[in-house]
Amino acid sequence: MTLSQLQSAIERHFAAGPGAIGDEAAMTTFLALRAALESGEARAASPDAGAPTGWRVNAWVKRGILLGFRLGALKEFAAAGLSFVDKDTFPVRHFSSGDGVRVVPGGSSVRAGAYVARSVVCMPPMYINAGAYVDEGTMVDSHALVGSCAQVGKRVHLSAAAQIGGVLEPVNASPVIIEDDALVGGNCGVYEGTIVRKGAVLAAGTILTRGTPIFDLVNGTILRADGELPLIVPENAVVVPGSRAVSKSKGHELSREWGLSLYAPVIVKYRDDKTDLSTTLEDLLR
């Protein structure tokens, strides 16, 4: 079945609503999508030079994942002496040495329907959800989360406790995208369709959402989500957590009285060709 045929079948069975439950053809179609996701052939979002963000959202893929939840029945699973209950359409993925993926012992989990490329390293405990795409050479560190349909590029480092938000509904919404060679520091949170461009660095504790403006000290601009466009971190930007004063009416007076300020991520510099990719974050920010 080609991707075009798979898309048509997914759309048809999804539109059937509860009527798809128990339909053998619907289950066969979903399993074909799940296999295509795990092989990387199908993606929730794909690079597209003609799109405003450089990425195209494939809403039909997300509909297919939701179809899988609709078709699934609760089932008991057991692994490493622990028991779980989940939809039988989304079991835990199993890897062999031939897959070239390192899954270090200690409680990590990759859900069925996620793509994990060769040379990815999974440090325990971490989690990759259905529909996610994690490309070659990426490190998913301890306590890191790659949410549903999130797209993570090559040679990305998701540091300890980094949270990459997921999205299934609304189906047209853009997933979080982390492009090649980005570094996401410890305890960072990237949510609500934010795009982190190639080579960008998020210092530990940086939180990015659709409603979070980024203050670019290098160029003297403020970056925001705009209409259908998500928040976008520029290529090679180095972003650190900062703060800004409350400047509106009574809030300004109280903030001065109470010593308050608002969280604000700040671009303090841009990486250049002289920056060694292996340089520590502390050296980068000096």
Please report, in tens digits, the pLDDT of each residue of the chain (286 residues total). Answer: 899 999 999 999 999 999 999 999 999 999 999 999 999 999 999 999 999 999 999 999 999 999 999 999 999 988 777 788 999 999 999 999 999 999 999 889 999 999 999 999 999 999 999 999 999 999 999 999 999 999 999 999 999 999 999 998 887 789 999 999 999 999 999 999 999 999 999 999 999 999 999 999 999 999 999 998 999 999 999 999 999 887 766 666 766 767 778 899 999 999 976 655 545 554 554 3
Domain with CATH 1.10.166.10 in the chain: 1-74
Global pTM reads 0.92
pLDDT at 199: 97
Question: pLDDT, tens digit, for every residue of 178-214?
Answer: 999 999 999 999 999 999 999 999 999 999 999 999 9
Query: What is the CA angle 238-132-163, rounded to 5?
Result: 45
Domain with CATH 2.160.10.10 in the chain: 90-236
Cβ proximity of 159 and 177 under 8 Å: no
Helix ranges (H only) for 93-185 are: none
Return the bridge partners of 238, or none.
201, 269
**CATH placement of domain 90-236:** 2.160.10.10
Query: What is the CA angle 24-27-31, rounded to 5?
Result: 140
**CATH placement of domain 1-74:** 1.10.166.10
3-state secondary structure of 29: helix
Q: Please report the DSSP string for 268-286 in residue order.
A: EEE--TTS-TTS-HHHHH-
Question: pLDDT, tens digit, for every residue of 80-110?
Answer: 777 889 999 999 999 999 999 999 998 899 9
